[in-house]
Structure 1
Amino acid sequence: MTLRFDLERHHHLAGAIHARAWLTMREQFGLAPNTLDAYARAVDSYLAFIEPRVHDCEASTQSDVAGWINESRARGLANSTLIQRVTALRLFFEYLVEEGLRPGNPVSRGGAFRCCGTTVFRTAGPIRRMHKLPWIPTDEEWERLLRATSEDSIRDRAMLALAYDGALRREELCSIMVSDFDFARKLLTIRAETTKNRSGKVVPYSLATSALLGRYLNRRRTMRCEPDAVFLSESPRNRMMPITSYTWTKVVERMALRSEIPHLTTHTMRHLRLTDLARAGLDMHHIATLAGHRVLQSTLIYIHLSARDLTDALARTMGSLAAPRHPSLGPEE
């Protein structure tokens, strides 16, 4: 079986038999390719850290894990990335314990409940999660982006529009097939195998996006290419091959540079679309369906970004609070 994780990039995995066996097992269980690669990076990073100290993971201790976490934090890893890496390492150690290769797991499970008599405590994990609101552009920044991309290829503009309308993740956008469209109803089916949580969904797109897609597909019909992949590479090396997530990331990076919006990423269109829907007052359950969220807690981020609930609540209560709390103007002096 061909491994999806790159042993040339993660070269410490080459000599780690148990790590490769665990990653291969996760792949066979259907782990998403991007998640598999992230797990490979995490284990490879840990193996690189412990190499001068111990010979293998079977002899690792909590002190080794703590040192690796501190070293990763010192290198400036984002909080979410660090949590993902710690999770991957914990799952790997669980595998070693289940296989009888070590006595216990040196990575504690955060959020588990511990009982002491009649009292229940919530245990802390090795990394405290920081819940940051995602960045979204202002109206002026978005208009600047549209102006900067007005002369871009019809493919890039169609992808930008569709990414916004459908609140699509990068992999979902790049994996679209012609057969996924219902052009008459302006609906797009996102296949389960392309989504983060392996749940399919159907999303609408606008009349303006439909016009961009129509122009792009008319041009695409003149090309000799794969019959079903919609968005194709325009580079000389991979011309007419399906566009990759890496290529789309580079396209958006160039858009960000030209429009002078440094925080723009492939995920920005998704964040902005969901926030706009929250601002418009769409029901949170409908927003969650469009986003493909399994739990509403994930959708609440966009309610916070829109400040919809806070604004409505303040509007209802400010009148009654103002009179007793504000000082009187009194007579003019």
Structure 2
Amino acid sequence: MPEELKAFLNYLLLERNYSPHTIAAYQKDISEFWEFLQGEKSLTMVGELELKKFLVYLLKKKLSRRTVARKMVALRSFYRFLKKSGFIKENPSLNLELPKIPKTLPEVLTVEEALKIIESQKQFTPIEIRNKALLELFYGAGLRIGEIVGLKLGDVDLAQGYVRVTGKGRRQRIIPLGSYALNALKLYLEVSRPALGPKSEQLFLNQRGGGITPRGVRLIIAKIVKKAGINRKITPHTFRHSYATHLLEGGADIRSVQELLGHKRLSTTEIYTHLSKEQLREVYIQAHPRSREEKK
């Protein structure tokens, strides 16, 4: 690995406090560019032309525009760091234009769908008890999958009714928990977790007693959603989108939702206000007699 890339990854870890998962993603994207250069130029000898060629190469691979933009943003950050740290004199990515990403509203569950999925776990077995606690935290606290997996036993305070979450950039926040989530967690900690034979300090365990993984969580959610009879793609992040949307629809102010979600920028949270407006428009079109022209 080139020394300049090592220095950048250390910077992300030590100064930016990025998670290992995020750092690995940066390493993968920048290493792909390094391999693309095929030894013809080092990373510090690159100009704007090489970056543009790489952009064309990525687009020809028929990757999504979002994926291409993410890879190019990683390179922008890398070259900004190299310029700031004195590895290079000029930043070749300064005038690089990124592919435009179409704005799409996130998929959300209706309240009825969310409850149907959660209630499908009858808590007859340790696994069902664990799964219900997982679902209650996803929907009742709006956590990211990495945040759920990263929870430790000491992060949950049942007496005070909150969970301490470490989010992006290792920023911590305190999330209040409702009675349903608290009751599900209490049952999991008293009955299910001991039965799984704990071998980890992670809050949520797999069937063998080890810490649950992001892949494991995705498989669990997919299986539960299918069993609940929801015939569309629902991911763990769909519960986070639903949490935010249902909070706003219930009258929560956007600044509070931003804090609960752990968003650094308010603009990231504002997409959920657009989503609520779209849903209101759909209700209006379906219900109001003057919302559309009569067919002649």
| Structure 2 match to 1:186 | 161
Change beyond 3 A, Cα 1:84–1:215: same
Provide the C-alpha distance between the structure 2 equivalents of 1:142 and 1:224, rounded to a whole number of angstroms. Answer: 30
Provide the C-alpha distance between the structure 2 equivalents of 1:163 and 1:295, rounded to a whole number of angstroms. Answer: 21
Which structure carries more relative contact order (alpha carbon 8 Å, separation 6+)? 2
| Structure 1 match to 2:133 | 158
| Structure 2 match to 1:67 | 53
| Structure 1 match to 2:30 | 43
Provide the C-alpha distance between the structure 1 equivalents of 2:202 and 2:12, rounded to a whole number of angstroms. Answer: 28
Asked if 1 retains the 8 angstrom alpha-carbon contact of 2:33 and 2:54, the reply is yes
Matched residues, number? 282
Give structure 1 stretches of 5+ with no counterpart. Answer: 1-13, 111-124, 327-333
Aligned CA-pair RMSD: 3.2
| Structure 1 match to 2:93 | 107
Given residue 289 of structure 1, which amino acid in structure 2 is its aligned partner? E
Asked if 2 retains the 8 angstrom alpha-carbon contact of 1:32 and 1:196, the reply is yes
Q: Which residue of the other structure, out of 9, 13, 23, is the alignment partner of 2:9? A: 23
| Structure 1 match to 2:214 | 245
Provide the C-alpha distance between the structure 1 equivalents of 2:226 and 2:47, rounded to a whole number of angstroms. Answer: 45
Give structure 2 stretches of 5+ with no counterpart. Answer: none
**Offset of residue 204 of structure 1:** 2.2
Q: Which residue of the other structure, out of 145, 154, 162, is the alignment partner of 2:117? A: 145
| Structure 2 match to 1:58 | 44
Asked if 1 retains the 8 angstrom alpha-carbon contact of 2:200 and 2:210, the reply is no
Provide the C-alpha distance between the structure 2 equivalents of 1:207 and 1:247, rounded to a whole number of angstroms. Answer: 26
Q: State yes or no: 1:174 paired with 2:149.
A: yes
**Offset of residue 240 of structure 1:** 1.9
| Structure 2 match to 1:33 | 20
Q: Percent identity?
A: 24
Asked if 2 retains the 8 angstrom alpha-carbon contact of 1:281 and 1:308, the reply is no
| Structure 2 match to 1:301 | 271
Given residue 20 of structure 1, which amino acid in structure 2 is its aligned partner? K
Q: State yes or no: 1:218 paired with 2:187.
A: no
Asked if 2 retains the 8 angstrom alpha-carbon contact of 1:278 and 1:308, the reply is no
Q: TM-score, normalised to structure 1's length? A: 0.72
Aligned to 2:175, what secondary structure does the other structure show?
strand
**Offset of residue 277 of structure 1:** 0.9
Q: Please give the residue correspondences for 1:80-95 in structure 2 after superposition, counting only pairs within 5 Å.
A: 80-95=66-81
**Offset of residue 155 of structure 1:** 1.0
Given residue 260 of structure 2, which amino acid in structure 1 is its aligned partner? L
| Structure 1 match to 2:237 | 267
Asked if 1 retains the 8 angstrom alpha-carbon contact of 2:145 and 2:236, the reply is yes
Change beyond 3 A, Cα 1:186–1:106: same
